[in-house]
Structure 1
Amino acid sequence: MSAVLDRAPGLENTGKLLPSLREIEDAARVVYREFQATPQYRWGLSSQRLGTDCWIKHENHTPVGAFKLRGGLTYFEALQRRGELPAQVVSATRGNHGQSIGWAARAHGVACTIVVPHGNSLEKNAAMRALGVTLIEHGEDFQESREFAMALAAERGAHMVPSFHADLLRGVSTYWWEFMLAVPQLDVVYVPIGQGSGACSAIAAKLALGRKLRIVGVVSAHATTYADSLAAGRVVEAPVTTQLADGMACRVADGAALDILLPQLDHIVKVTDDEVAQAMRDLYTDTHNVAEGAGAASFAAAMKERELLKGQVVGVTLCGGNVDRTVFAEVLAGPQA
């Protein structure tokens, strides 16, 4: 079910976090040193399935198969610009953030250790190691990995790279900026929420470009900290039981992200693992692109609300395609609606 959010008067606490249009444009120049703008297409079959024009932004086409790389590039560029590049960094991830930090750290000659929970995606783990990352498995979920990574960074005197930071938002905002420039007629976009950088960056691009489109947040029905926290107006911890949407498997929301999301999100949609699996199948059938669980969540949410979207131009993000082959094979073998 959708949950309409209470409106807050403004963004008094977020001015230092959200990038300006000029900062987004500057960030794009940093990103484009590594790869060019990703495509967005109006897919006929997806539009037919949704019952209205559906544009899909293909962040699965970055060199690490997910949008996170943009943020890692701008984060390390900012460290270098300030003369603060460390000898080593530590961070925690379920995979895509870790690939981003590993790629950027390698480009700057910085040693990188990434902590992941036990049972993390084997293929995401392998991709991080291929980037030169030292991988440590610790904890049963992302929050335990994050807390261990913070302690490890303090013990080593290493720089701890957070999952949510203004210098990450600058880079991630470039993909929403690309999308909104390429498809100015968008009425509404659906954005999955993990730690919040994707959704906050969509807000940043909207405000920077002066657009009127609605931004709908999407969370896993099995990881509801952001939905619960937005409803309560404060951080509310919630258990994580999703087996498919690991990119949204967050147990504790980020307070700074909440400050940005609360006054700007139109509403929140919760999607189940079954709905995400169906969206993964739909996207493969319609576009022959691979979507990981979080990467299919925005389309799942749009499909859930398709009766409300007639006549509107809808944007969704295939924000990552890094799903283990065995998992994807099992999902594809499931029933096609």
Structure 2
Amino acid sequence: MTEAIGLTELERAAEVVHAVMPATPQYRWPLLCERAGCEVWVKHENQTPAGAFKIRGGIVYMDELRRAQPAVTGVIAATRGNHGQSVAFAATRAGLTATVVVPEGNSVEKNAAMRAFGAELIVHGHDFQESLEHAIALAEERRLHMVQSFDAKLVAGVGSYGLELFRGVPDLDAVYVPVGLGSGICGVMAARDAVGSKAEVIGVVAANAPAYALSFEAGKPVSTNTADTMADGVACRVPVQGALDAILKGASGVVRVTEDEIKAAMRHYFTDTHNVAEGAGAAPLAALLKERDRWRGRKVGLVLSGGNVDRTVYQAVLQEADSGATN
């Protein structure tokens, strides 16, 4: 997947993205550095117009779709939230209708944001996989264009943040990236390879949704029966073969983090940077703290992939006490 996405493709995607939104910042936060015992650079994808990195992929995807298939009038996608916001934002901007299928119990505020961006919202299924299967059926029934959560165009789009990060901080030793279905980590690996960085790229999943960790260890796709994590952006139970192939080739590992570790990282982001991080966005920090001895005194990038967490959920997380001073 990443082999076909080189510097030319990434720069073209970045040009399309930057026509709609500016580059997001990467900041070195001193309190995070103290906490982790290394130089920490945070890529702030929580500061996009949709509050998450996914919007980049949607912008590039819809731009190419309009040029390649001008007869398409509407698109459909399944999501836990950020992909759906991306699709709704970009489709509406491109003059297309957007239908988004979400599972029962999905984030109230992400649902509201998708509607605000112009999507028709359909609630179906107990988890993302069931929503996806329903969306695929509806695409055929309604003659809509199906936007999968993993696609080369999406990878090129979200890879534009990787290009910004590696050019902004060219001497990183490692980058921790949350893994949902894989577009983010594949984009980061493509950007790393395109600019010639030697940084290790490390995927992060929730221990309660370990499909990609299990698959990395097995060297082949391993599905799980559940993906019961508060970090909905990484709540995957069926890995994508193309994404896994790229991860096996280009990532140095996939780290599991617990629900308590994710919640602690959300609190650390607030106290140390006063940024809101959703569960998936905080997972890379949780992984770095888990592996802090490995990176002591070195330079590490963290992808804060999004800040879209419901207020009630976030309040509950902030009110919990940390089990220790640094994790």
If the length of structure 2 is used for normalisation, what is the TM-score? Answer: 0.97
| Residues 1:85 and 1:104: Cα distance change in structure 2 (over 3 Å) | farther
1:180 paired residue number: 166
SS in 1 for 2:184: helix
Among 129, 145, 149, the alignment partner of 2:135 is 149
**8 A contact 1:192–1:248 mirrored in 2:** yes
2:3 paired residue number: 15
Q: In structure 2, what is the Cα distance between the partners aligned to 1:221 and 1:291?
A: 18
Q: In structure 2, what is the Cα distance between the partners aligned to 1:265 and 1:175?
A: 17
Among 48, 55, 67, the alignment partner of 1:62 is 48
Q: In structure 1, what is the Cα distance between the partners aligned to 2:71 and 2:216?
A: 35
1:168 paired residue number: 154
Among 259, 272, 278, the alignment partner of 1:273 is 259
CA RMSD of aligned residues (A): 1.1
Q: In structure 2, what is the Cα distance between the partners aligned to 1:252 and 1:320?
A: 22
Q: Which runs of 4+ in 1 moved over 3 A?
A: 13-16
Q: In structure 2, what is the Cα distance between the partners aligned to 1:194 and 1:270?
A: 13
SS in 2 for 1:237: coil
1:257 paired residue number: 243
Among 106, 114, 123, the alignment partner of 1:120 is 106
Residues 20-67 of structure 1: per-residue CA shift (max 9 Å, x gap)? 101111111110111100001000000000011001010000000000
SS in 2 for 1:136: strand
Identity of aligned residues (%): 53
Among 122, 135, 145, the alignment partner of 1:136 is 122
SS in 1 for 2:201: strand
Gaps of 5+ in 1: 1-12
Among 299, 318, 322, the alignment partner of 1:332 is 318
Between the two proteins, the alignment pairs up a number of residues equal to: 323
Among 228, 232, 246, the alignment partner of 1:242 is 228
2:203 paired residue number: 217
CA apart distance, 1:122: 0.1
Among 294, 298, 309, the alignment partner of 2:280 is 294
1:5 paired residue number: none
Kindly provide the amino acid, as one letter, of the partner of residue 220 in structure 2: R
Gaps of 5+ in 2: none
1:111 aligned onto 2:92: no
1:41 paired residue number: 27
Among 39, 48, 62, the alignment partner of 1:53 is 39
Residues 48-97 of structure 1: per-residue CA shift (max 9 Å, x gap)? 00011001010000000000000000001111222445111110000000
1:282 paired residue number: 268
Kindly provide the amino acid, as one letter, of the partner of residue 49 in structure 2: P
Q: In structure 1, what is the Cα distance between the partners aligned to 2:189 and 2:227?
A: 28
SS in 2 for 1:186: coil
| Residues 1:14 and 1:181: Cα distance change in structure 2 (over 3 Å) | closer
| Residues 1:318 and 1:14: Cα distance change in structure 2 (over 3 Å) | closer
2:295 paired residue number: 309
Q: In structure 1, what is the Cα distance between the partners aligned to 2:59 and 2:227?
A: 31
Q: In structure 2, what is the Cα distance between the partners aligned to 1:286 and 1:104?
A: 33
Q: In structure 1, what is the Cα distance between the partners aligned to 2:36 and 2:320?
A: 20
**8 A contact 1:59–1:320 mirrored in 2:** yes
Residues 86-124 of structure 1: per-residue CA shift (max 9 Å, x gap)? 111110000000000000110111111100000000000
